[in-house]
Amino acid sequence: MTEIIVVGACNIDQIVYTPRLPDAGETVLGTDYQIGFGGKGANQCVAASKLGANVALISKVGDDDNGKRYIQNLKRCGVDTSNVLITDASCTGVAPITVANDGSNNIVVFSGANMLLSREDIDSAAGIMKSAKILLCQLEIDKFTTLHSLKAAKNAGVTTLLNIAPAIEDLSDEFFINSDIICLNETEASALTGIEVVDATTAVSAANQLLSKGTSNCIITLGKDGSVAAQENGEVYIVHGDKVDAKDTTGAGDAFIGAFAYFFCKLGSSNYMEAMKRANTVAGISVTKKGTQSSYPMRTDLPEALFEGIVN
Ligand code: RIB
């Protein structure tokens, strides 16, 4: 039975490691290169699957070698791919990424086939909503397909989480009203609210501002400093980050969201802060390895204490 449904993008990540990120117009020489599987939607799906969740991805890839390899990868990771569609109208998404020695990155995405995932494709996949507990969306596909997915899940009684990434500044309130939870990082929260989010205090102010748009829960991730959450009932949670030696932060936010969805399903919605804490640990571990999905830990790599209270 599918517990977590993700509607989102598959990209081939082309990562170059450099001593530092280049300035505009500057060329820097790389020290290492890696091709891997990425895309925020697929990353979140794989992160949850590696922990042991039953997950399904609704996505679109090109009718090309990258698309074929991508579907094989998802199957290997235990993801239900029956709604990963193939189109010959565009190529599989690609993401050139630069990662500096301190683990920071910048990313450009060419969406390709991802943008062709349509509202009709979501309607055709509606059957899998029946058993799901949570639906995860991001903003790397057509935004109207995202909104349609959020509405369909809400109508089916499924909890909806929207990861506002990349940030779209004029996002209509409909996206917030149809999302039970929104999750975004400090950069995205700054862009959306005009508040410079630099720590837990400024993050809580930004989260409260975003709550006024109609969502019930707002989580802001703060990289090495952890995460904060504000809820419409006035509750505020602050989770401190674990000290880790960061090698590559690419996809750490996705590891957090995939893991949060897993713990949210397994521990129940009343254990919200516990789900955040445990997701923070998983994301912290992911940054200690290079790569995107390849850096996400399997349940067997993690301390059993992280799964306390989880029966299956
Ligand atoms: O969040 C990280 C992801 O953003 C990468 O995997 C890249 O593909 C882009 O979608």
Q: Which of 13, 80, 248, 254 is catalytic?
A: 254
Which of the listed residues 10, 12, 13, 104 should we mutate to test ligand 1's pocket, taking the one with most ligand atoms within 8 A of CB? Answer: 13
Domain assignment of residue 298, yes or no: no
Span from the CA of 40 to the centroid of ligand 1 (angstroms): 5
Tell me which residue has its CA closest to atom 6 in ligand 1: 38
Domain assignment of residue 118, yes or no: yes
Locate the ligand 1 atom nearest the alpha carbon of residue 292 and give its number.
6
Locate the ligand 1 atom nearest the alpha carbon of residue 250 and give its number.
2
Instruction: Say yes or no to pLDDT of 170 above 90.
Output: no
Domain residues for 139?
Answer: 4-290
Span from the CA of 144 to the centroid of ligand 1 (angstroms): 20
Domain assignment of residue 121, yes or no: yes
The ligand 1 site (C-beta within 6 Å) comprises 9, 11, 13, 38-40, 43, 95, 107, 109, 140, 250-251, 253-254, 292
Q: Quick: pLDDT tens for 40-89.
A: 999 999 999 999 999 999 999 999 999 999 999 999 999 999 999 999 99
- Token code pair at residue 14: 């082309």
Q: Quick: pLDDT tens for 280-290.
A: 999 999 999 99
Locate the ligand 1 atom nearest the alpha carbon of residue 165 and give its number.
1
- Token code pair at residue 62: 């090109």
Confidence of residue 169 (pLDDT cuts 50, 70, 90): confident
Span from the CA of 59 to the centroid of ligand 1 (angstroms): 14
Q: Quick: pLDDT tens for 58-72.
A: 999 999 999 999 999
The verdict on whether 225 is a catalytic residue reads no
47/253 Cα distance (integer angstroms) = 10
What total number of domains does the chain contain? 1
Domain assignment of residue 256, yes or no: yes
Domain assignment of residue 215, yes or no: yes
Instruction: Say yes or no to pLDDT of 15 above 90.
Output: yes
Locate the ligand 1 atom nearest the alpha carbon of residue 9 and give its number.
10
Give me the sign of the Cα torsion angle 240, 244, 250, 254: negative
Domain assignment of residue 240, yes or no: yes
pTM: 0.97
Span from the CA of 293 to the centroid of ligand 1 (angstroms): 10
Q: What is the pLDDT of residue 183?
A: 98
Instruction: Say yes or no to pLDDT of 312 above 80.
Output: no
Q: What is the pLDDT of residue 130?
A: 86
Domain assignment of residue 75, yes or no: yes
Span from the CA of 42 to the centroid of ligand 1 (angstroms): 9
Q: What are the backbone angles phi and psi of residue 2, rounded to the nearest 5°?
A: -70, 125
Check which CATH number belongs to the domain holding 209 and give it: 3.40.1190.20
Q: What is the pLDDT of residue 103?
A: 86
Domain assignment of residue 312, yes or no: no
Give the strands of the sheet with 105-107, arranged side by side.
32-38, 11-18, 93-100, 105-107
Computed over every residue of the chain, the mean pLDDT equals 96
